[in-house]
A and B are shown apart, each in its own frame.
Chain A
């Protein structure tokens, strides 16, 4: 009997959707806007995250050692740093590689290369590039170096640590990223709440039109589940149809703006992102559409289900 009731409810909901053409169309249009906002939030969040990750990856501390320091000593520092929980990675750059990088970087500046020829030997020491897991942890890594390697004293093996030079940039990045994450979360929540409210009101209007019908159903003795069911099914169909439309229309939209986003946001092409994450985005849009549509119908119909 339960499966028979479910079958009848689904059939009735589908017929309601088809026969209430204008009402269904208006509900679907509003849900399309809601789901487009949701898709916009997904893409904005991806762009923001990608930008933040790109910015984070560009931050690092460079530790330059004196020329006389042996490779073994540098590798000891490297292993000490790698044991710190806040360190993501430590890259060892040998003396020879430092020299090579210097020559490549300054190949057009003869005045900077000439002293090397005069010296006749490599004046650079090895260096370490340290990346932290979080931007806020660079300061503690710097403090670790000061405490353990007597920086700025005569017996230090470390020549320079460029943390002070980058401190301002790192601090600013930290605050921008933190603000960006908070702002993004607030805007996302706000947009989602607003779009649900708009959808809820549209579906309420659609159900208001059917209020006499609901009254008749009450009078012939229909259970609340039997009255509510077809409206919830119709709401789910609004969501399903809107979601399919949105998923299709996102293809030309993302294709159109893809190259611009790649140029502006560290090579993230939203079209490529959409294609690569299609199943995940499809699931979010479909589930959200069906959920918002059916829950809105359920909430909207409750008002008309009075027996007395």
Chain B
């Protein structure tokens, strides 16, 4: 379970990115967070990944306040949360195979496990033929599928996808959303931030709407309303 307890974030220039956020996400839930640019969606994600600290409040992940964790434990936490970003964030000097294997290596997984699991997830995201290509040899959709493969390979508890379809055409967007749904069907919590109305309407899952750093709507089977 993930719980944001009265989380407020004020940056040094007095910009209020989040105001008094109370949010509870149950295991295996698929939650979409929508809102205009600057609404606070990405800041909320950063709080969960311990990339940024809240000015006030707590972010609880399975009964632990993530901002009280020591560095080593933050790394362990991040290995339990798969991340997918709009700009893919792949390692440019590693092949597709190595990008996915890297996530397993940092989790201290043995070589034999890596050599059996990586081809398996590559097959899941339909990229077996591109295993030894570098990221700059892939299309946007393919890069995002690599990012998904990397995010799921360690079988994390949560997948955080921050605008994963922002740079993709409708066909690729559809494919990525279907993959996220499949991951969620297998029991992984998915937190998706997006601007894409079509994606939200297609999902018919819980939708949280943010505006000016506040949650203004929380619909259990929501629609995209801004």
- Select one of A20, A212, A216, A220 contacting B79, CB under 8 A: A220
Bound CA span A308–B90, Å: 20
Instruction: Assess whether A308 is in contact with B106, with CB atoms less than 8 Å apart.
Output: no
Given A5-B108, A219-B78, A308-B52, 18 additional A-B pairs, CB 8 A: A4-B111, A15-B93, A15-B94, A215-B89, A216-B89, A216-B90, A218-B78, A219-B49, A219-B51, A220-B106, A221-B77, A221-B78, A221-B106, A222-B75, A222-B102, A308-B50, A308-B51, A308-B74
Do A220 and B83 form a contact, CB below 8 Å, given A4-B110, A4-B111, A308-B53?
Answer: yes
User: Counting CB contacts under 8 A, is A8 at the interface?
Assistant: yes
Bound CA span A308–B52, Å: 5
User: Counting CB contacts under 8 A, is A134 at the interface?
Assistant: no
Bound CA span A221–B110, Å: 17
Bound CA span A212–B52, Å: 17
User: Counting CB contacts under 8 A, is A217 at the interface?
Assistant: yes
Instruction: Assess whether A212 is in contact with B107, with CB atoms less than 8 Å apart.
Output: no
Interface of A is mostly: helix
A residues within 8 A CB of B76?
Answer: 221
**What 0/1 readout, one digit per residue, does chain B (158-185) give for beta carbons within 8 Å of chain A?**
0000000000000000000000000000
Do A223 and B106 form a contact, CB below 8 Å, given A307-B50, A307-B74, A308-B50?
Answer: yes
Instruction: Assess whether B150 is in contact with A19, with CB atoms less than 8 Å apart.
Output: no
User: Counting CB contacts under 8 A, is A224 at the interface?
Assistant: yes
Q: Which residues of A contact B (CB under 8 A)?
A: 1, 4-5, 8, 15-16, 19-20, 212-213, 215-224, 226, 307-308
Query: Whole-angstrom distance from the CB of B69 to the nearest CB of chain A?
Result: 9
Instruction: Assess whether B110 is in contact with A220, with CB atoms less than 8 Å apart.
Output: no
Query: Whole-angstrom distance from the CB of A99 to the nearest CB of chain B?
Result: 83
Give the residues from 36 to 59 in chain B that come closer than 8 angstroms, CB to CB, to chain A: 49-53
Bound CA span A217–B78, Å: 10
- Select one of B53, B93, B103, B107 contacting A213, CB under 8 A: B93
Bound CA span A23–B57, Å: 44
Give the residues from 104 to 126 in chain B that come closer than 8 angstroms, CB to CB, to chain A: 105-108, 110-111
Instruction: Assess whether B91 is in contact with A216, with CB atoms less than 8 Å apart.
Output: yes
Instruction: Assess whether A217 is in contact with B74, with CB atoms less than 8 Å apart.
Output: no
10 interchain pairs (CB within 8 A)? A4-B110, A19-B93, A20-B93, A217-B102, A217-B106, A219-B49, A220-B103, A221-B77, A222-B102, A226-B105
B residues within 8 A CB of A212?
Answer: 89
Query: Whole-angstrom distance from the CB of B29 to the nearest CB of chain A?
Result: 22
A residues within 8 A CB of B111?
Answer: 4
Query: Whole-angstrom distance from the CB of B158 to the nearest CB of chain A?
Result: 13
Do A8 and B89 form a contact, CB below 8 Å, given A220-B150, A308-B52?
Answer: no
Instruction: Assess whether B83 is in contact with A219, with CB atoms less than 8 Å apart.
Output: yes
- Select one of A5, A20, A220, A226 contacting B78, CB under 8 A: A220
Query: Whole-angstrom distance from the CB of A138 to the nearest CB of chain B?
Result: 65
Query: Whole-angstrom distance from the CB of B45 to the nearest CB of chain A?
Result: 11
Most chain B C-beta atoms within 10 Å of own C-beta, residue among A15, A213, A221, A226: A221
